[in-house]
Amino acid sequence: MTTNDNAAETAATDPTDDRMPARPRPPAKTFGQQVWSLLKELVFVLVGAIIVSSLLRAFVGQMFIIPSQSMESTLLIGDRVVVQKLTDFHRGDVVVFQDPGGWLSDDEPAADATPLDRVLEFVGVPTASTPGHLIKRVIGLPGDRVICCDSQDRITVNGQSLDERSYLFTASDGTQNAPSELRFEVVVPRDRIFVMGDHRDLSADSRCHLNDVSIDQGRGQVAFPPIDLVVGPAFAVVSPLDRAARMRRPATFDTIPAPSEPAPAEAVIKPEGVTC
């Protein structure tokens, strides 16, 4: 027997030999196991994306589909807008708010939601059935006196006339909506706002609810959406792509003075019974 043979025999029988035998290779995964592993990874990624999307939707921003003609031509039916939730709004901003009571029957058609619609809405992707919200332009804040109209048929806020020509709906023949055919004078109550659509002839906005009666509010109070029902100001149109644009506050609102008196607990509405 050779020296090498003796060494091999000793290594095989010596219990003090610390050399480990080679580990067997794991068996290769079958095609089915590879597919299952991929599916599990996709599920983890999808769940993570849903969680992130839901957090963004709850605290940062949300997308909405424009359901009606009331904001033409600023916003068209089917436009998708992103609303900021962490940003304060001001006079002149376009805001999304929850129905303060009885508005949607006048302004927003909503289809029945399918299970897919509910899933998409949960993760922040709106569908045509997204219910319960409206979008209008803020004209008056708490305490503001909003009047239609001055001698040149312009809306005034705290005595300052608004130049609304940059956003009021204009027909194809060049005819522009009047600021309002309805004459009124209101003082916006505490913690509420006064809103109007840009297509004034087709917008069932605050003006059209000044004589509404509700169970838990005085006559006409439902015309002023509570601030705590405002989701936030619309930041941009993101779809369709050919209409994608940043939304900006018209300069005419920059010079509106502050109200001269504190906001009343209930709105002041003149003349009594005024409505669209």
Instruction: Count CB-CB contacts under 10 A for residue 103.
Output: 22
- Exposure class string for 26-62: b at 16+ Cβ within 10 A, else e: eeeeeeeeeeeeeeeeeeeeeeeeeeeeeeebeeebb
Among residues 231, 195, 208, the alpha carbon closest in space to that of 85 is found at 231
Catalytic residue among 29, 68, 70, 161: 70
Catalytic residue among 40, 73, 136, 239: 136
Residue 74 dihedral angles phi and psi, to the nearest 5°: -60, -45
What 8-state DSSP symbol labels residue 115?
H
Task: Provide the token pair at 145.
Answer: 């006196």
Task: Provide the token pair at 80.
Answer: 């998708």
| Residue 70 bears catalytic tag | yes
CA distance 35 to 251: 58
> Prior bond to 271 cis, omega within 30?
yes
| Residue 73 bears catalytic tag | no
Question: 86: which residues sit within 8 A by CB, 6+ positions away?
Answer: 59, 60, 61, 232
Q: E strand or H helix at 121, and its extent?
A: helix 115-122
Q: What's at 226, amino acid-wise?
A: P
Question: 131: which residues sit within 8 A by CB, 6+ positions away?
Answer: 104, 108, 110, 113
CA distance 152 to 113: 46
Task: Provide the token pair at 62.
Answer: 């949300």
Would you name the residues annotated as active-site residues?
A: 70, 136
